[in-house]
Amino acid sequence: MENKNFFITPSSILPQEFFEKLIEEESFFVEKIISEGHATPEGEWYDQDTTEFVMLLKGRAILEFEEGEKKEMVPGDYVTIPKNKKHRVSWTDPRQKTFWLAIHYK
């Protein structure tokens, strides 16, 4: 068994958001996401066929939903996003890395 650290990053500066699947099974997967001033491009929405439980572990961010609701997120905050609920990341802190833990399930 290899000992790993969730907060280790692949490089010092991330040119784009970083996604890493930590566990993948038939009906669910767990992923690590690192943002650093990244946001979903304006006008684009995630529309997933899985329910997503997402927790912000470090950093700050704003999640936006298609109907206009916005959720400001700080460490420890989490939300469950139902499948096919359109959402996007409208902002992440550009001064620090933002670490997310996401669990997608059917």
Pairwise CA distance, residues 85 & 66, whole Å: 8
Average pLDDT of the segment spanning 27-40? 97
Pull the structure tokens for residue 79. Answer: 């939300």
pLDDT value of position 94: 96
Taking CB atoms within 8 Å and a gap of at least 24, the contacts of 61-69 are 61/35, 61/89, 61/91, 61/92, 61/93, 61/98, 61/100, 62/89, 62/90, 62/91, 62/92, 63/87, 63/88, 63/89, 63/90, 64/88, 64/89, 64/90
Q: Name the domain count of the chain.
A: 1
Q: 26 in a domain, yes or no?
A: yes
Q: What integer pLDDT is reported at residue 66 of this predicted model?
A: 97
Range of the domain at 85: 18-105
Q: Is residue 100 situated within a structural domain?
A: yes
* pLDDT 10s digits, 91-101: 999 999 999 99
pLDDT digits (tens, 9 = 90+) for 8-18: 988 777 889 99
Residues 5/32, Cβ–Cβ less than 8 Å: no
In a domain, 72, yes or no: yes
Residue 27's CATH number: 2.60.120.10
pLDDT in tens, 40-92: 999 999 999 999 999 999 999 999 999 999 999 999 999 999 999 999 999 99
Asked if residue 9 belongs to a domain, the reply is no
Do the domain assignments include residue 10? no
Overall pTM surpassing 0.95 (yes/no): no
In the numeric block, which tokens belong to residue 41? 């491009």
Q: Is residue 3 part of a domain?
A: no
Per-residue model confidence (pLDDT) at position 46 = 97
